[in-house]
Amino acid sequence: SAVISQKPSRDICQRGTSLTIQCQVDSQVTMMFWYRQQPGQSLTLIATANQGSEATYESGFVIDKFPISRPNLTFSTLTVSNMSPEDSSIYLCSDRLGPYNEQFFGPGTRLTVL
Amino acid sequence: QKEVEQNSGPLSVPEGAIASLNCTYSDRGSQSFFWYRQYSGKSPELIMFIYSNGDKEDGRFTAQLNKASQYVSLLIRDSQPSDSATYLCAVNVADDYKLSFGAGTTVTVRA
């Protein structure tokens, strides 16, 4: 599998501010995804990051709150905008490899909003 | 109705025993099935995937799939304390690249 890195690994932010999370893959991948994992919960897909076009958002997630960029096949960013304490979560990026849609995850970004 | 359901935990097993994890899914068009292991404070790690009915073995792990019953399971043989983690079942729906995740089952292996 490709090696995925994320920055920052964790952050503590004030409400009303924004944080941009970076995801870097060490090889070109066609599909990248962003997930949220709230405390004690499973993974919820936020959006699919599409190279060269707008991200595809899941129900309940909007571009104004979670703008995503995908400038090339190895990099993507997720911004959490106008944060509130409810945004405190782990944010994970993943890539899709293989013919059976296997996904591999980065180490995650642990976000705490005060 | 949730798309992917896992047996509620936590599941506690003695060291050396078999841990059995179950997962059911609602979409009959599902084609690929995945088991992820997530240690506390870490990201999910893919440990098994299966797409054909029957059993698939990898070391101490066996995945079992029964599409007619819409059921997939994971057996961990000779459980070790290092197997203590949350196990997430994920399902890929046909003609879609996305995964749907279950809520996870937390396994504790008692030494």
**Tens digit of pLDDT for each residue in A37-76?**
999 899 999 999 988 888 999 999 999 999 999 999 999 9
Taking CA–CA distances from B48, the nearest residue in chain A reads: A102
Percent of chain B with pLDDT over 70: 96
Cα–Cα distance measured from residue B89 to residue B72, given in angstroms and rounded to the nearest whole number? 8
Residue B9: per-residue pLDDT? 82
pLDDT band at B102 (very low <50, low <70, confident <90, very high): very high
SS (H, E, C) A44-107: EEEEEECCCCCCEECCCCCCCCCCEEEEECCEEEEEECCCCHHHCEEEEEEEEECCCCEEEECC
- Rounded to whole angstroms, what are the CA distances from B109 to A77, B12, B38, B43? 38, 6, 15, 20
Chain A hits for B34, Cβ within 8 Å: 102-103
Supply the mean pLDDT for chain A.
Answer: 94
Residues A76-86: tens digit of each pLDDT = 999 999 999 99
Are A102 and B46 a contacting pair at CB < 8 A? yes
User: Which A residues, 24 through 83, put their C-beta within 8 Å of a C-beta on chain B?
Assistant: 31, 33, 41-45, 48
Q: Beta A75-80 vs A89-97: how paired, if at all?
A: unpaired
pLDDT tops 80 at residue B94:
no
Residue B1: per-residue pLDDT? 52
Interior CA angle at A23 toward A57 and A5, to 5°? Answer: 140
Residues B43-79: tens digit of each pLDDT = 999 999 999 999 999 999 999 999 999 999 999 999 9
Residue that the structure tokens 């309940």 belong to: A60
Are A48 and B104 a contacting pair at CB < 8 A? no
Residue A101: per-residue pLDDT? 84
Choice between B105 and B93, residue whose per-residue pLDDT is larger: B105
